[in-house]
Amino acid sequence: MKNINFTLGMGTFRLQEQVAYDSVKMALEEGYRHVDTAQIYGNEAEVGQAIADSGLPRDELFITTKVWFEAFSEDKFIDSVKESLTKLKTDYVDLLLIHWPSPQDDVDMALYLNELKKSKEMGFAREIGISNFTIAQTQQALDILGEGELFTNQIEVHPYLQNNKLVGFCQANGIQVTGYMPFAYGKVLANETLKGIAEKHQVSTTQLVIQWLAQRDIVTIPSSTKRKNLASNFEKVSITLSDTDMDRIAALDCNDRQANPDFSPKWDL
């Protein structure tokens, strides 16, 4: 694992064209070194250009992208990864993920996970993992690939959707959890309990949520298009949330899922 700040990354979901370029460029200028994108986001080229224009050495960066399920077949998977690398202007990504499990299991999981593993063996990815996999699907992936192969499961985690069972399962099996949408599109930032705890610790509500995730050993990848927010999110805050703080945040869990497309798996409750 590279000696960089991996625990807080720059997410790029829904960022397009010049906005994607500018946001990633600003994030890198503010000190971010972990950048997360995906084939389906349609912004890998802009992300890659921003990284190239930053002038940062490749070995100081941690770049993640994700393979979309339309490329799960043997004749498409590796080519799609190569295309991603071309757009990102790099010879490899640090982390390559399966973005979603195959809808309705149309494609055998063993097929696309073995293609994922092959991508790593070919040097196109340093680490591999999954995203939006349930407990049962994660167990199936472990059975297919074996222990120690899956670096992360990237899932939705925020105070309104804490995903405790899935988080616990992954951590018990040595799989790093990466939480996306940490602010639930901003919904949790208006919560009075969170604002009160943040005020007590003299931090912003976003900084509080990031610290809450860190204390759960969860990597997170918030996104922003504003430099001041990027800087605030990345700022190192010297706080430790007490058990009482953590319990109060735990009580906010209400299974309020934001990412729930019609091809989603049957989620763990």
Active site residues: 41
Are 13 and 38 in contact, with CB atoms under 8 Å apart? yes
Burial of residue 105, with CB atoms counted within 10 A of its CB: 0-12 exposed, 13-18 middle, 19 or more buried: exposed
Token duo for residue 155: 């899932």
Question: Do the bridges between strand 150-156 and strand 125-131 make them parallel or antiparallel, or are there none, so unpaired?
Answer: parallel
What CA–CA distance (Å, rounded) separates 168 from 138? 12
What CA–CA distance (Å, rounded) separates 209 from 132? 21
Token duo for residue 256: 């309020």
What CA–CA distance (Å, rounded) separates 70 from 67? 8
What CA–CA distance (Å, rounded) separates 120 from 105? 23
How far from each other are the two terminal CA atoms of the chain, in whole angstroms? 32
Burial of residue 26, with CB atoms counted within 10 A of its CB: 0-12 exposed, 13-18 middle, 19 or more buried: buried
Token duo for residue 9: 């990354």
What CA–CA distance (Å, rounded) separates 59 from 2? 8
Secondary structure (3-state) at 171: helix
